[in-house]
Structure 1
Amino acid sequence: MNRLAILHRATDNYAYVCSNYDVCIMIKTGKGEIDRIQLIHGDPYHWTNGKWCNDRAAMEKTGSDEHYDYWQILITTPTRRLRYGFQLSNKKESVFLGEDGFYSIPPNKTDKYFAFPFVHSTEVFAPPNWVKDTVWYQIFPERFANGNKKNDVPGTLAWGSTPPKPDNFFGGDLDGIIDHIPYLKDLGITGIYFTPLFTAKSNHKYDTIDYLEIDPQFGDKKTLKKLIDICHKNGIKVMLDAVFNHSGFYFPPFQDVLKNGPDSKYKDWFHIREFPIQTKPLPNYDTFAFTPYMPKLNTQNPEVRNYLLKVARYWVEEFNIDGWRLDVANEVDHTFWRDFRNQIKAIKPDVYILGEIWHDAMPWLRGDQFDAVMNYPLTRNVLALFANRTITSEEFISKMTKVIHMYPATVNASAFNLVGSHDTPRILHECDGDIRKVKQIFTFLLTFIGTPCIYYGDEIGMDGDGDPGCRKCMEWDISKQDRDMFSHIQKLIQLRKQEPLLANEGSLRFISFRENGFAFVKASNNKKILVAFNVSNKERSFSLPQEYADLKPINLYSGQAQTSKTIKLDAYGFAILEFNSSYN
């Protein structure tokens, strides 16, 4: 066996607390290298007649990617102390892996084993319980609905009268959102994520001028309180966008630095390399990307920290918001985010903290900073398979298996899953206008683990390239809406709410139908649900695994009984099959 491919650390996604007494252990081995693994485990202080008392338990192979097999086990620790090691076997050999390496036989001394010193309940990763059952809807406020023309800025254009540009305005506001809460409730939405609402110069509002005021073009604080109150009465959570990595160019402290240079009392609020400040050809101060209009804030400065933490507390205390989405979260120091979490959780323990991170985010997901991150690895894989066909279904399974095992299972349930946003081309555009592919993608998104988010307008078939094309005015003319797509998403949300296995209950595994399709199965107790996809442009029939061959499932989407031992799917089709042993 290839010992270099065997990977384990006694931390993070490899070893973590699941509850007061339970620890989940994972190990990676070379793909196809190992036939079975036994976990040797016990309390390091439990000895009898000079021998350590330990137990053995078989680990389960929970998936494979291109290079590795993943093995997991849940261990209950009655004394909350744990030492453990792995007995790995194949047809040729059997070896033991402990903390300091490999042995031909399991050592007698416990200091050779991996250590989980004590299982503390405070170390259980515990995002707000409501998040796993939430279906989000992202609103770009300037483009959703104009409900109050009195707050339109000069030069506001007629709704949808021209394509969106980086600098044009159409008058979207809070009143417009209030007017359409019934629409969102009808769709089945239970959470709204707003891009920034605070005072700013741009139409996107990521260039904040005043973090403690609502932009006048959106309304005022009284209107926001009304909106949040209406949302809560309709079972809808509200998440605001916090832009704490950088401010806007017209943020008063930055303007003071521009005016007073090294004499400004705010000069250390930013990362300024030299004076005088220059914006061209490149800024001589740190910014978001290289945008001179978004100077980076120095969150290690105590005054900046106190100001931003005051902002974070204010909108939770005064407006009872339910979540913060943290923009460019990976460029802000970890110490700040720990303080951020402690302070807002002290006010409202079930606030959802979501970080915008596009890469492996394990350092932010150890229970001391974020409750979740935006699941862009999932986004990339979904687009590659369903929309662009740049990978096969087998490659998709491999890549998604890696994504699932990237974090603890306790993290995956609150992962913010999306297939489009204000930063990306719309999903219909990615699918080259093929509505069948879009339906498949939303079927996957709304039946998979995590907490799914729909970008405004995608549910009615709006199109658009990347920014600014993806920021069109919401289409409110029903005759121009794809109502079949609306009904499709509405039905999927209803199914997700009715059947916990279509959300975050049960265990998950993938089934490959070779290059043309795949399925994933969610299972618990006597029930299994299989969600199958044909990713080819031709009708296909897929054989059910033998364990399902004699069962008679119900297609939850169509309501019809499945009588064949094969699944027949249209081109770019899908099926949601429930197998329940109680009625077979």
Structure 2
Amino acid sequence: MGWGSIAAMTTSRTDGPEWVRDALWWHVYPLGFVGAEQRSGPGQPVRHRLGHLAGWLDHAVRLGASGLALGPVFASTTHGYDTVDHLRIDPRLGDDGDFDALVAGCRERGLRLLLDGVFNHVGREYPAFRAVLEQGPAAPTAPWFRLRWPGGPDAWRRGTEPDHDDFEGHSQLVALDHASPAIVDHVTEVMCHWLDRGADGWRLDAAYAVPTAFWARVADRVRARHPGAYLMGEVIHGDYARLVADGHLDAVTQYELWKAIWSSLNDANFFELDAALGRHAGHLAHFTPYTFVGNHDVTRIASRLRDERHLAHALVVLLTTGGTPAVYAGDEHAFRGIKEDRAGGDDAVRPPFPAGPEELSELGLPTYRLHQELIGLRRRHRWLHTARTATLHLANEQLVYEAVAGDGRLVVALSLSDRPVELPSARAGEVLAGAADVLAPGTDGARVRLAAHGWAVLAG
């Protein structure tokens, strides 16, 4: 199945909670951000490090974010995605008191809080799985996992370990059995526990690996107790709209648009981006995707782009198209970092942060101010949350599109050319961001002059 393909659907649009219309996330991978140890173990002393992250909340507000999207904060053995206790803060980060203080800091600043829930799999040290290893098929938690006992359950002897399903070949990540009513109950209670404690929603890790029927059962039960919760699934490819509808979710991650943004800029091939924007508009007919140009799992956008002049173009697309955007912490200062397919290959994109933003290099300030400018523009045009785009002009190195929702309209002009260009931009008006000269503004024959590698967002 193609990336993000849209199936013929009769379902109504999923809007999610009203507050999400104004959400713009600052995304943080906390274990890396606070410089935590790479491994945790029994008896690990509590290190109260979440306060370090709380000290950056004003930075998120000044950036223009309205929410903090956290990576894993629950007890785990290594990277946070091998959970050992869903109801305990990772001791490398702190404890319940530190979490409560972070929630209070977010509330004081009007920031929403999104948590990262790993409910497809758990780490091998998860107590329910340890019970299986110690007690065998008779363990009360054996139905929690998809197990295969050598010789059958009756042949079990102490010390015999079953084969188990895992996450994408990683034997340390033990897959849960989502057909088990006990898992439905457990995940529901975990999600509601932290929503009760002040979270506003969940990113559902590896949502694509979990049956949609499971998400639907959990989502319905969670919303019965927390109707304002935002439930967003991590999905790489597949039928985005169908997964949202069948899983009773509010959104999924828009990886197709992420890929098209940097790839089209690197290849000087705006036809790829144009096609992706067309499919993105199709998604917007059913739900509002979670959009981004960087996160904790991918190479930083500043490293991904071959021409640093096009970092602005990537950000312009993110912030002038429909979606619930997220900025990965550090991208607003043009952090570099390349993800590698090896042990520790994520470290470069998950670095520790200094005590405060004043300690960052001044070299990142132009990118930071660009983020502020474009985020401010988006917040002044809140209808962009559900805006769909239509192409006004398309060539390999140039793209002009309109973003429209209701009575709102903006025109976006992008160029990758080494020379100044003049592009048809029907009814484009004053320049709101970027730089351009507008000929015959407001008319069907309006044209926009851009400098080499220029861009502009214009009133429509």
TM-score bracket, shorter-length normalisation? 0.7 to 0.9
Match of 2:299, SS state, is coil
CA shift for structure 1 position 172: 8.9
| Corresponding residue for residue 116 of structure 1 | none
- Give matches, 1:20-419, under 5 Å: 125-145=14-34, 173-202=49-78, 204-275=79-150, 284-317=163-196, 319-359=197-237, 360-366=239-245, 369-386=248-265, 388-389=266-267, 392-405=269-282, 407=283, 409-411=285-287, 414-419=288-293
- Matching residue within 474, 477, 487 for 2:353: 474
* Higher RCO (CA-CA < 8 Å; seq separation 6+): 2
CA shift for structure 1 position 402: 2.5
Percent identity over the alignment is 26
Q: 1:304 to 1:441 in 2, by over 3 A?
A: same
| Corresponding residue for residue 463 of structure 1 | 336
| Corresponding residue for residue 497 of structure 1 | 379
Write the distance in 2 (CA, Å) between the matches of 1:573 and 1:461: 19
Q: 1:440 to 1:408 in 2, by over 3 A?
A: closer
Aligned residues: 428
Write the distance in 1 (CA, Å) between the matches of 2:394 and 2:228: 41
CA shift for structure 1 position 572: 2.8
CA shift for structure 1 position 333: 2.2
- Matching residue within 318, 326, 349 for 1:453: 326
Write the distance in 1 (CA, Å) between the matches of 2:129 and 2:407: 61
Q: Which stretch shows the higher mean deviation, 226-235 or 189-198?
A: 226-235
Q: 1:408 to 1:492 in 2, by over 3 A?
A: closer
C-alpha contact (below 8 Å) 1:143/1:172 kept by paired residues: no
Write the distance in 2 (CA, Å) between the matches of 1:561 and 1:525: 27
| Corresponding residue for residue 423 of structure 2 | 543
| Counterpart residue identity of residue 462, structure 1 | F
Q: 1:184 to 1:247 in 2, by over 3 A?
A: same
CA shift for structure 1 position 16: 4.3
CA shift for structure 1 position 313: 1.4
C-alpha contact (below 8 Å) 2:48/2:98 kept by paired residues: no
Write the distance in 2 (CA, Å) between the matches of 1:429 and 1:559: 25
Write the distance in 2 (CA, Å) between the matches of 1:427 and 1:572: 17
CA shift for structure 1 position 517: 0.8
Match of 1:491, SS state, is helix
Q: Which stretch shows the higher mean deviation, 469-478 or 217-226?
A: 469-478
| Corresponding residue for residue 39 of structure 1 | none
| Corresponding residue for residue 97 of structure 1 | none
| Counterpart residue identity of residue 114, structure 2 | M
C-alpha contact (below 8 Å) 2:291/2:325 kept by paired residues: yes
| Corresponding residue for residue 396 of structure 2 | 515
Q: 1:368 to 1:267 in 2, by over 3 A?
A: closer
CA shift for structure 1 position 367: 6.8
CA shift for structure 1 position 531: 0.8
CA shift for structure 1 position 261: 2.5
| Corresponding residue for residue 425 of structure 1 | 299
Deviation beyond 6 Å, 4+ runs, structure 1: none
Q: 1:267 to 1:486 in 2, by over 3 A?
A: same
Write the distance in 2 (CA, Å) between the matches of 1:523 and 1:304: 43
- Give matches, 1:558-569, under 5 Å: 562-563=438-439, 565-569=446-450
Asked if 1:556 is matched to 2:432, the reply is yes
- Matching residue within 351, 358, 368 for 1:486: 368
| Counterpart residue identity of residue 541, structure 1 | V
Tell me the alpha carbon deviations over residues 337-371 of structure 1, each in whole angstroms, 9 at most, x when there is no partner.
11211121112212110001111223322275110
CA shift for structure 1 position 131: 1.4
| Corresponding residue for residue 44 of structure 2 | none
Match of 1:515, SS state, is coil
Write the distance in 1 (CA, Å) between the matches of 2:222 and 2:376: 32
> TM-score, normalising length from structure 2?
0.86
CA shift for structure 1 position 205: 0.6
C-alpha contact (below 8 Å) 1:142/1:172 kept by paired residues: no
C-alpha contact (below 8 Å) 2:75/2:91 kept by paired residues: yes
| Corresponding residue for residue 62 of structure 1 | none
Write the distance in 2 (CA, Å) between the matches of 1:303 and 1:528: 49
CA shift for structure 1 position 423: 1.1
Q: 1:196 to 1:506 in 2, by over 3 A?
A: closer
CA shift for structure 1 position 392: 1.7
Write the distance in 2 (CA, Å) between the matches of 1:479 and 1:183: 15
Write the distance in 1 (CA, Å) between the matches of 2:434 and 2:454: 12
Write the distance in 1 (CA, Å) between the matches of 2:187 and 2:408: 48
| Counterpart residue identity of residue 210, structure 2 | V
Tell me the alpha carbon deviations over residues 126-168 of structure 1, each in whole angstroms, 9 at most, x when there is no partner.
311221321111101022246xxxxx66999xxxxxxxxxxxx
Q: Which stretch shows the higher mean deviation, 282-291 or 422-431?
A: 282-291
Write the distance in 2 (CA, Å) between the matches of 1:265 and 1:525: 55
Tell me the alpha carbon deviations over residues 28-61 of structure 1, each in whole angstroms, 9 at most, x when there is no partner.
xxxxxxxxxxxxxxxxxxxxxxxxxxxxxxxxxx
Asked if 1:534 is matched to 2:415, the reply is yes
| Counterpart residue identity of residue 344, structure 1 | V
Q: 1:527 to 1:142 in 2, by over 3 A?
A: closer
CA shift for structure 1 position 568: 2.4
Write the distance in 1 (CA, Å) between the matches of 2:390 and 2:347: 38
C-alpha contact (below 8 Å) 1:283/1:290 kept by paired residues: no
C-alpha contact (below 8 Å) 2:284/2:386 kept by paired residues: no
C-alpha contact (below 8 Å) 1:141/1:173 kept by paired residues: no
Write the distance in 2 (CA, Å) between the matches of 1:481 and 1:272: 53
C-alpha contact (below 8 Å) 1:394/1:512 kept by paired residues: no
Write the distance in 2 (CA, Å) between the matches of 1:368 and 1:310: 18
CA shift for structure 1 position 474: 2.7
Match of 1:400, SS state, is helix
Write the distance in 2 (CA, Å) between the matches of 1:224 and 1:262: 37
CA shift for structure 1 position 249: 1.0
Structure 2: segments with no counterpart, 5+ residues: 1-5, 41-46, 151-155, 340-345, 441-445
Which structure is higher in helix share? 2
Structure 1: segments with no counterpart, 5+ residues: 1-10, 18-123, 147-151, 157-170, 580-584
C-alpha contact (below 8 Å) 2:81/2:118 kept by paired residues: yes
Write the distance in 2 (CA, Å) between the matches of 1:534 and 1:283: 57
CA shift for structure 1 position 481: 4.7
Match of 2:320, SS state, is coil
Asked if 1:439 is matched to 2:312, the reply is yes
Q: 1:449 to 1:13 in 2, by over 3 A?
A: farther
Tell me the alpha carbon deviations over residues 231-266 of structure 1, each in whole angstroms, 9 at most, x when there is no partner.
122121101011110011110111122222233232
C-alpha contact (below 8 Å) 2:144/2:180 kept by paired residues: yes
CA shift for structure 1 position 284: 2.7
C-alpha contact (below 8 Å) 2:232/2:249 kept by paired residues: yes
| Counterpart residue identity of residue 315, structure 1 | W
C-alpha contact (below 8 Å) 2:103/2:113 kept by paired residues: yes
